[in-house]
Amino acid sequence: MARPRTFDPDEVLNTALDIFWRKGFHGTSLDDITAATGLAKPSLYAAFGDKNALFLKIIDRYHDTVLRRSERLITNGPSAREAIQTWMESFLPYCSGAKGNRGCLSINTAMDGALEQAELRKSVKRFNTGLEKLIHARLEADRAQFSKDFNPSAASRAIMAIYNGVMVLSRQTQSPDQVKSVIAQAMKLLA
């Protein structure tokens, strides 16, 4: 008869997420996770699988959370421009200032070299595609606000490139003003 779990799986996943986010996929060991969670390796393996399986659960949860939040921000607002600006500015705490050098876990994963794993690569691609579709749908819905030659596909792709770039640069501890100036330039695409 199996013993009942004596830990909260969500707490363990949140703790492991924090470690992976700080140290990266390759820089995090199962010893780091067991030390932080208090779980023994056999319990960790039984609940979540190996390090790869654990990280895939974590990044999929992260992606779902960011996509839900992004959808809420991008679909609201009086105009596509204002909604997308609000969405981009919502990332300031993650990509600027002394505490904002964490960036995006998904971008960090790509930079860490963890994408040699097919399932992680698929998860990151699904995330990026999801964000781009949200932006594109809002731009397309508000197309009348833009000039005749406005291209929602090109604009959404450019906004994604800027988002990714800001998140990559977060490791260099950008100031909030630096990030805001980049967002201001991005908004000129939506003039």
Instruction: State the pLDDT confidence band at 1, using cuts at 50, 70 and 90.
Output: very low
Residue 113, domain member (yes or no): yes
Residue 175, domain member (yes or no): yes
Query: How many percent of the chain have pLDDT more than 70?
Result: 97
Residue 154, domain member (yes or no): yes
Q: What is the mean pLDDT of residues 177-182?
A: 93
Residue 82, domain member (yes or no): yes
pLDDT at position 14 over 70: yes
Residue 84, domain member (yes or no): yes
Residue 116, domain member (yes or no): yes
pTM of the model: 0.90
Three-state SS string over 44-80 comes to: HHHHHCCHHHHHHHHHHHHHHHHHHHHHHHHHCCCCH
Q: What is the CATH number of the domain that holds 97?
A: 1.10.357.10
pLDDT at position 146 over 60: yes
Residue 169 has which token pair?
């640069």
pLDDT at position 171 over 90: no
Q: Which long-range contacts (CB under 8 A, 24 or more apart) does 32-41 make?
A: 37/7, 37/11, 37/12, 38/7, 39/7, 39/12
First vs last C-alpha separation in the chain = 64
Residue 133, domain member (yes or no): yes
Q: What total of structural domains would you count in the chain?
A: 1
pLDDT: is 73 or 95 the higher one?
73
Its domain, for residue 134, covers 62-190
Give the mean pLDDT of the chain: 91
Instruction: State the pLDDT confidence band at 3, using cuts at 50, 70 and 90.
Output: low
**80-135 tens-digit pLDDT:** 999 999 999 999 998 888 777 888 999 988 888 877 889 999 999 999 999 999 99
Residue 25, domain member (yes or no): no
Q: What is the mean pLDDT of residues 161-186?
A: 91
The burial class, CB within 10 Å (0-12 / 13-18 / 19+), for 111 is middle
